[in-house]
Amino acid sequence: MMQRPWFKVFIWFAGTVFFFMASAALISYFGPVPTEAQVMAYMAGMMAAMENSLMGLSMSLEGDSQLKGLIAQIASVTVPLIFVGIGFGVLVRIRRSRID
Amino acid sequence: MNVRFDFIMHWLWTIVFAILALSGLAMVGPRYGWILVYDIAAADFVHRVLAAVFVLLTSVSVAYEIMRSVKADSKKLTWFIIGKSGYQLFTLITTLIFIVTGVIIWVCMDSNMAATAFSLYIHEKLTYIVIASLIWHIYMKAHALLWPKPSSGIASKAKSKEGEVVSKGGKAL
C-alpha cells in the first residue's frame, strides 16, 4: 500500500495539512491583534453556532424539537459509521484469518 | 490485498484528528477564526460529530490492545496509534486527556464555568503540543514521503508486505 502512487499523494496531502495547521496556529498566536471586523465576524459566527449548531442546542431543554432533529441528524451520520467500522473490522479479521 | 488493522487505524485516526484540529483551532478565538472563514457554526458541528468518531476509534484501539494483552500477544504493531512506549504512549496519554477535557467542556458548558474554562485551557494548549509533536513525527517518518523509484519498484513490492515497507536501515515503518 505504501508504494502505491495514490497513497503517496494522500500521505503528502495529510503531511501538508499538519504543516498548514502548525503555521496557522503560529500565525494566529503571534500575529497582530484582531481588528474590530474580525472580532465581529467571530462573534457573529459564535451567535450562529448558538442558534444553529450543537453549542446552543446542548444548553436547551430536552423537549426542544430542534434539538431532537439535530440529534437524529447526527445519529444518521454516526450510526452508519459505527456499523461500517464494525463491518470493516470483521472483514479485516476474516481476511487475516484466511491468510494465516 | 492484505491491509493490516493497525495501518487502517493509523490513517483513519490521522484524517479524523486533522479535521478535528482544524475545526478546533478555528473556534479558539477571533485571531483563529480565519482558518475556517469565521464559520464557527460549521466548525462546532464538525468538531462535535468527529469527536464522537474520535472517541470510537480510541475505544476500539484500547479494546484491541486489551484483547492483545489477554492473548499475551507481544507482537509490535508498528502502525498502531497507541502502545506501551514512545510516540504511541504519548498519543495514548494525549488522546485520553483530549477526550476527558472534551467531555467536560461539552457537559459542563452550561453548569460549571470553572471546570469548562480549565478544560478549554488544557484542550487548547494540548492541541499546540500535539501539532508540534506531529510535525516531529512527520519529520522522523519523512522517508514515507519518498516517491518509489520505477526501477526498484518491483523489487521493493516483492520484499515488502502490504501496509508495511522496509526502510534503508531495515526497520519497519
Q: Which of residues 25-54 of A touch B (CB under 8 A)?
A: 25, 28-29, 31, 34, 38-39, 41-46, 48-49, 51-54
CB contact under 8 A, B3 and A1: yes
CB burial of residue B115 (10 Å; 0-12, 13-18, 19+)? middle
* CA angle in degrees (0–180, nearest 5) for B103-A59-B23: 55
Q: Tell me which residue in B4, B30, B109 faces A34 most closely, judged by beta carbons.
A: B30
Q: Where in chain B is the domain with CATH 1.20.950.20?
A: 5-140
Predicted TM-score (pTM) of the model is: 0.73
Q: How high is the mean pLDDT of chain B?
A: 84
Q: What is residue B119's predicted lDDT score, i.e. its pLDDT?
A: 92
Question: CATH fold of B5-140, please?
Answer: Fumarate Reductase Cytochrome B subunit (1.20.950)
Kindly tell me if the per-residue pLDDT of B166 is higher than 50.
no
Q: What chain B residue is nearest to A31 in terms of C-alpha separation?
A: B31
User: pLDDT tens-digit profile of B109-152?
Assistant: 777 888 889 999 999 999 999 999 999 999 998 888 888 777 65
Distance of CA A48 to the CA centre of its chain: 18
pLDDT score at B137: 94
Cβ–Cβ contact A95 with B under 8 A? yes
Q: How confident is the model at residue A94 (pLDDT cuts 50, 70, 90)?
A: confident
State the ipTM, two decimals.
Answer: 0.79
List, for residues A39-51, the tens digit of each pLDDT value: 999 999 888 887 7
